[in-house]
A and B are shown apart, each in its own frame.
Chain A
Amino acid sequence: MPSAAERFHDIVRQASAQRAPLRVRGGGSKDFYGQAVQGELLDTRSHAGIVAYDPTELVITARCGTPLAEVESALAEKGQMLAFEPPHFTPDPDGRSLATFAGMIAAGLSGPRRAAAGAVRDYLLGVRIMDGRGRELVFGGQVMKNVAGYDVSRVMAGSLGSLALILEASVKTLPRPPAEVTLLLEMPEATAIESLNRWAGMGWCVSASAWMGGELRVRLSGASAAVRTAVQAIGGQRVDDAAARRFWTGIRDHQDGYFKGDAALWRLSVPQTAAPLGLAGGQLIEWGGGLRWLRSGAEAGTIRQAAERTGGHATLFRGGDRSSEVFHPLSPVLAEIHRKLKAVFDPEGIFNPGRMYKAL
């Protein structure tokens, strides 16, 4: 029986010969994200399994279709984690996670710990990919430092599968913090933004933050002494540990009440110090002020301009009118480079065409 990689090779070669688009997909937990793709389904889940994990090397290597939950429980067993706290998003009807390892990388989305610990791309060390010609290529590796050639592997993070098929990836892991406390404080939006920036500058170990409706929750993680110091300095009311874990998972996976309902969900990525945006609609602020979720039926142009004025960008994350671009438009010079890079990896345009931008 041919291996999954051999089958992928045949599928890719054939699609390439016929210029027939492929819809690369893991568990479908992020089907809502980006633009819909027409094309033959290439399900990555047949190529699964952890290839190597040595906790003392701080690296895990796994195949594309490995369930993210499997990776996370292997790490948890050794007291480690994916520090960027990747979201699992839409579960199956029984509530089980559908997210896959390569789906996490291709989406490039990070969870509540992002502002403190970095994003998927910061932890991605290397990839094995299949390009549009069906060639297996390896970029990066399993080591922390590597400047041989261009850093092609990091470009795969957030590429939405539009460049190549990720077969395998190596990601840096970190120890789980020994102590964690969540605090609840009441304050208006502007004060919350100001406080979060001040705390980040003080070096207090804030590992997550969420402000909505006048309530700010902050999670502190680190050595128990560091958490104790920060708890005293920040004040507020301590949230029960189990409730806090449920809360942060709900924020991470968009299962919290804020994310329910049909109103369009916008994701505004702005400088952490950006003043309140004053847009109509319910807001949830994460990442120390850097991530502003907005439930709003306002004009796309209005929302994009508000993000742009701060130096940031806006994505129509879920729902809303998806007939035009959902991601923020690129400058002409960047758009041109995107188009050329797509052709480097995928000359026949078979991988998830249009998932990111219509012209890509």
Chain B
Amino acid sequence: MGERPPGINFIRQAEVVARLLGVLPSESILHSSEDTRPYECDGLSAYRQMPMVVALPANEDEVRAVLQVCHALKVPVVARGAGTGLSGGALPLGEGVLLSLAKMKRIVSLDPVARLARVQPGVRNLAISEAAASYGLFYAPDPSSQIACTIGGNVAENSGGVHCLKYGLTVHNVVRVRGFTVEGEAIEFGSEALDAPGLDLLALVHGSEGMLAVITEVTVKLLPMPQIARCIMASFDDISAAGEAVAAIIATGIIPAGLEMLDRAAASAVEQYAHSGYDLAAAAILLAESDGTPEEVEEELPRVIEVLKRSGASAIRVSRDEAERLKFWAGRKAAFPAVGRLSPDYYCMDGTIPRKRLAEVLRFIGQMEQKYGLRCPNVFHAGDGNLHPLILFDANDPDQLARTEAFAAEVLEKCVEVGGTITGEHGVGVEKINQMCIQFSPAELEIFRAVKTAFDAAGLLNPGKNIPSLHRCAELGGMHVRGGKLPHPELPRF
């Protein structure tokens, strides 16, 4: 046994390891710090915590057994896929078991006629599309981390992607989830038919951040691959005009396969990195993709171009071939790492707003840049109102970190105020738990906690994530704001 990590109760650790050794081979249990270190954080690396024990079950029987041991010993369990999540949903607990599902990475079956694939939770998102490609099928949700992130994590976070405007989120593309309750009892949500009896618990499990059950098998829908896709890149001198162009496209009855925007700061950051040919003179770049049969795309493209011109696009380019289309997208998809090169750290927000409030929210973000003295490039899933402003800061400077957190909190509160949400696709995790107090009333939070208890009475599955305690909200003293209305609007506030 190597160096002992701080904050771990070693007597308890020895007890849990001994019990787990009864159900797992020793190489599937990690507890020395050099072995558990890689699990101390997920994609939100600002938060770190060494787990007491890491368990790596290889099959459903082992998952069940680990859960039974943990339930008997009252040890909390945090499930983890690839650890690419951006909100700390898989942040371990010092008194808990980190349940890695990485060993369960088999595609159990793929039925090209039924257009369904049954996969284990540790299968990577992109691996499903790769396996389906020879049948002319694909799995539609494509989060930016798709080469690494796993399907179990996608269900836990209800992941989106750049094509979800047309193809939907994870919840729209999964038909059945199998797993275990905290007690280790097998449970199944949904079915391979188009619906299942009773309440729609399949929907409830999506985005539940591993707090209701542990997922061991997922059946996903496969869609026919579009025969062709082409991307339009449009420049706008004014970011509001770009926002109006998005509304105008939808008003003509077109739902593009992708509709993405970058502001000038983001475009220039990615241009140096990805060389996508973005127009750096523009205030905003809009990418609109059309996919389907060649005839469909041919019918749709000129209609979109006409709307863009009418909406005041200063320049328009259409990808001539697949290579150029991928080049257009390369910049957008590299936005996070590219912006990451501009400063030691960046803080990514995930607020979603009604699209018509875009200009107002972007103006507000501009004011916050002034107020906090920090830069904030914007990338934006324009089609569905999901903003990813990226605050640039240096975490080694405590003052900058504090200003960043205050900046982010104000922006998320603004998103709620205009009728949106604090998180569109990254999840609450530990990161946005305080903002939950703003978006939801005490009664609504109480319902969330009771829903959790209905599945997990002992509160052992990923405790402390997603749903804040009433106590926490009271301590924050934040006010619940909805639709711009504070409680007691009759009272003056200064």
> Residue B283 at the A interface, CB < 8 A?
no
Query: Which of B248, B421, B441, B455 contacts A337, CB < 8 Å?
Result: B455
Q: Is B165 at the interface (CB under 8 A from chain A)?
A: yes
Q: Closest CB-CB distance, A253 to chain B, in whole Å?
A: 19
Asked if A249 lies at the interface with its beta carbon under 8 angstroms from chain B, I say no
- The complex places the Cα of A180 from the Cα of B428 at a distance, in Å, of 42
* CA distance in complex: A239, B200 (Å): 37
B448 contacts the other chain (CB 8 A)? yes
Q: Which of A134-163 contact B (CB under 8 A)?
A: 135, 137-139, 141-152, 154-155, 157-159, 163
Q: A201 near B136 (CB under 8 angstroms)?
A: yes
Spot the interface stretch: B11-19, B182-190, B333-341: B182-190
Cα separation A79 to B381 with both chains bound (whole Å) = 24
Check if B421 sits within 8 Å of A157, measured CB to CB: no
Inter-chain contacts of A334 with B (CB < 8 A): 187-188, 198, 201
The answer to whether A121 and B137 have CB atoms under 8 Å apart is: no
Partner of B296, one of A138, A149, A222, A338: A222
Q: Say yes or no: is A17 at the interface (Cβ < 8 Å to chain B).
A: no
Residue of B nearest to A162 (CB): B199
Contact of A115 with B203 in the complex, beta carbons under 8 Å? no
Chain A residues, CB < 8 A from B135: 201
The answer to whether the Cβ of B322 comes within 8 Å of any Cβ in the partner chain is no
Q: What residues of chain B lie closer than 8 Å to A108, measured between beta carbons?
A: 195, 200
Residue ID in chain B nearest A339 by CB atoms: B454
| Distance of A340 Cα from B135 Cα, bound (Å) | 43
Q: Chain B nearest CB: distance from A359 CB in Å? A: 12
CA distance A313 to B195 in the complex (A): 9
Q: How far is the CA of A192 from the CA of B385 in the complex (A)?
A: 41
B188: A residues at CB distance < 8 A: 331, 334
Q: Which residues of A contact B185 (CB under 8 A)?
A: 333
Check A290 for interface membership: any CB of B closer than 8 A: yes
Chain B residues, CB < 8 A from A228: 295
Report the Cα distance A350→B186, complex, angstroms.
Answer: 31
From A144, A158, A225, A273, give the contact of B113 (CB < 8 A): A273
Interface: B80 (CB within 8 A): no
A296: Cβ under 8 A from any B Cβ: no
A200: min CB distance to chain B, Å = 7
Contact status A151-B352, CB under 8 Å = no
Are the CB atoms of A147 and B251 closer together than 8 Å?
no
> Is A312's CB under 8 angstroms from B191's CB?
yes
B418 to chain A, nearest CB (A): 10
* B292 close to A223 (CB less than 8 A): yes
Q: How far is the CB of B261 from chain A (nearest CB, A)?
A: 15
B286 lies within 8 A of chain A by Cβ: no
A145 and B386 contact, Cβ closer than 8 Å, known pairs A154-B204, A327-B198, A341-B454: yes
The segment out of B35-43, B67-75, B168-176, B364-372 that lies at the interface is: B168-176
Chain A nearest Cβ from B388, distance in angstroms: 11
Given contacts A56-B356, A154-B204, contact A344 B447 (CB under 8 A): yes
Which residues of A have CB within 8 Å of B169? 145
Given A137-B447, A145-B425, A225-B296, is A151 in contact with B171 using a C-beta cutoff of 8 Å?
Answer: yes
Whether A152 pairs with B447 at a CB distance below 8 angstroms is yes
B482 to chain A, nearest CB (A): 7
Interface assignment of B254: CB less than 8 Å from any CB of chain A:
yes
Verify if A90 is at the interface (C-beta below 8 Å from B): no
Q: Are A149 and B466 in contact (CB under 8 A)?
A: yes
Tell me if A54 is interfacial: C-beta within 8 Å of chain B: yes
A159: chain B residues within 8 A (beta carbon): 199-200
| Alpha-carbon distance A58/B166, docked complex (angstroms) | 12
A147-B158, A148-B432 are known contacts. Are A118 and B454 too (CB-CB below 8 A)?
Answer: no
- Interface set, chain A 268-310, CB cutoff 8 A to B: 269-273, 287, 290-291, 310
CB atoms of B193 and A138 under 8 A apart: no
Within the assembled complex, what's the spacing in Å between the Cα atoms of A343 and B199?
14
A311→B300 CA distance, assembly (Å): 39
Interface size on B, residues (CB 8 A): 97
Within 8 A of A (CB), among B368-403: 381, 384-386
Contact B247 A56 (CB under 8 A): yes
When the two chains form the complex, which single residue of B114, B136, B199 contacts A273, counting CB atoms closer than 8 Å?
Answer: B114
Contact of B197 with A150 in the complex, beta carbons under 8 Å: no
- Whether A155 pairs with B250 at a CB distance below 8 angstroms is no
Docked CA distance A176–B206 (Å): 29
- Whether the pair B354, A158 counts as a contact (CB closer than 8 A) is no
Q: Select the residue from A108, A121, A203 with max chain B CB neighbours within 10 A.
A: A203
Bound: A226/B294 CA distance, A: 9
- Whether the pair A145, B352 counts as a contact (CB closer than 8 A) is yes
In the assembled complex, how far is the CB of residue B291 from the closest CB belonging to chain A, in whole angstroms? Answer: 10
| Contact, CB under 8 Å: B293 / A226 | yes
Complex interface: chain B residues within 8 A of A147 (CB):
157-158, 207, 421, 423-428
> Within 8 Å of chain A (Cβ to Cβ): is B192?
yes
Q: Which residues of B contact A93 (CB under 8 A)?
A: none
CB neighbours of B212 from chain A (8 A): 150
Verify if A345 is at the interface (C-beta below 8 Å from B).
yes
Q: Are B114 and A271 in contact (CB under 8 A)?
A: yes
CB distance from A149 to the nearest CB of B (A): 5
Select from chain A the residue with minimum beta-carbon distance to B381: A145
**A135 and chain B: residue at smallest CB distance:** B443
Q: How far is the CB of A227 from chain B (nearest CB, A)?
A: 10
- Write out the residue numbers on chain B whose beta carbons fall within 8 Å of the beta carbon of A118: 168, 172
Which residue in chain B gives the minimum CB-CB distance to A313? B197
Question: Which residues of B have CB within 8 Å of A55?
Answer: 250-251
- Chain A residues, CB < 8 A from B295: 223, 225-226, 228-229
Complex interface: chain B residues within 8 A of A200 (CB): 115, 224
| Measured CA separation A80–B353 after assembly (Å) | 21
Q: Are B203 and A146 in contact (CB under 8 A)?
A: no
Chain A neighbourhood of B254, CB < 8 A? 175
Nearest to A203 among chain B residues (CB) is: B224
**Are A269 and B195 in contact (CB-based, < 8 A)?**
yes
- Residues of A close to B426: CB separation below 8 A: 147
Q: Which residues of A contact B171 (CB under 8 A)?
A: 122, 151, 154
Residues from chain B with Cβ under 8 Å of A146 in the complex: 352, 421, 423-424
Q: What are the 9 tightest A-B residue pairs by CB atom distance, in nearest-first order?
A: A225-B295, A203-B224, A175-B253, A145-B424, A154-B203, A340-B454, A56-B247, A144-B384, A312-B193
Sample 21 A-B pairs with CB under 8 A, ordered by A number.
Answer: A56-B355, A57-B355, A114-B194, A139-B444, A145-B164, A145-B424, A146-B352, A148-B422, A149-B428, A152-B451, A174-B255, A175-B254, A222-B296, A224-B299, A226-B295, A311-B192, A312-B191, A337-B455, A341-B454, A344-B451, A344-B454
Known contacts A137-B443, A148-B428, A198-B113, then 19 further A-B pairs from the complex at CB < 8 Å, ordered by chain A residue:
A79-B253, A119-B195, A135-B443, A145-B421, A146-B423, A148-B436, A150-B467, A152-B204, A155-B203, A155-B204, A159-B199, A163-B199, A200-B224, A203-B293, A331-B188, A333-B186, A334-B201, A340-B453, A356-B198
| A interface residue numbers (CB < 8 A to B) | 54-59, 79-80, 108, 114-115, 118-119, 121-122, 131, 135, 137-139, 141-152, 154-155, 157-159, 163, 174-176, 178, 197-198, 200-203, 222-226, 228-229, 269-273, 287, 290-291, 310-313, 315, 327-331, 333-334, 337-338, 340-341, 343-345, 356-357
